[in-house]
Structures are given as C-alpha cells and as structure tokens.
C-alpha cells in the first residue's frame, strides 16, 4: 500500500509543478515545452530513485549470516 500511495503523491506533485510552470512561466510554446519536459523528467527520476530504494529493502541481496554460538 505504501508504494502505491507514494506513487500517487509523486504523480500529484508532478501535475501541480507542471501547472505552476505553465501559469507562472508562460513565455511561449518552446519555453513551455522545455519547462514541461524538465519537470516530467525530474519527477520521474525522483520517483524511480525512491522506488528502487524502497523495493530493494523488500528483498535485500546481502543476507546477514548468523553464528550458531550467539
């Protein structure tokens, strides 16, 4: 459940940032496309970094080795 909720949060933040850039920085179609591309790229990269870290904690590659003497 945490994965999907946070994914939705990233989606909402990306949409809000896109709308803010569209409203605040309206300087022509070329600049608007550049701003939108940068916002979408940043949002997707941040989400992927978070998703990789989150999912890697579910099944770690290195498993702790327990000693029988402890």
34 assigned to some structural domain: yes
36 assigned to some structural domain: yes
Structural domain count, the chain: 1
Q: Which residue, 38, 45, 44, 46, is CA-closest to 21?
A: 38
26 assigned to some structural domain: yes
Give Cα 56 to chain centroid, integer Å.
Answer: 15
Tens digits of pLDDT across the chain (70 residues): 789 999 999 999 999 999 999 999 888 888 899 999 999 999 999 999 999 999 988 887 787 777 777 5
Q: Given this model, what pLDDT does residue 70 score?
A: 57
49 assigned to some structural domain: yes
63 assigned to some structural domain: no
67 assigned to some structural domain: no
Q: What domain range is 14 assigned to?
A: 3-56
């Amino acid at each position: 459940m945490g994965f999907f909720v946070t994914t939705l949060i990233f989606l909402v933040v990306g949409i809000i940032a896109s709308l803010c850039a569209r409203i605040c920085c309206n300087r022509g179609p070329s600049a608007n496309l550049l701003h939108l591309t940068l916002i979408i790229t940043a949002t997707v990269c941040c989400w992927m970094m978070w998703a990789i870290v989150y999912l890697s904690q579910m099944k770690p590659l290195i498993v702790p080795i327990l000693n029988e003497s402890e």
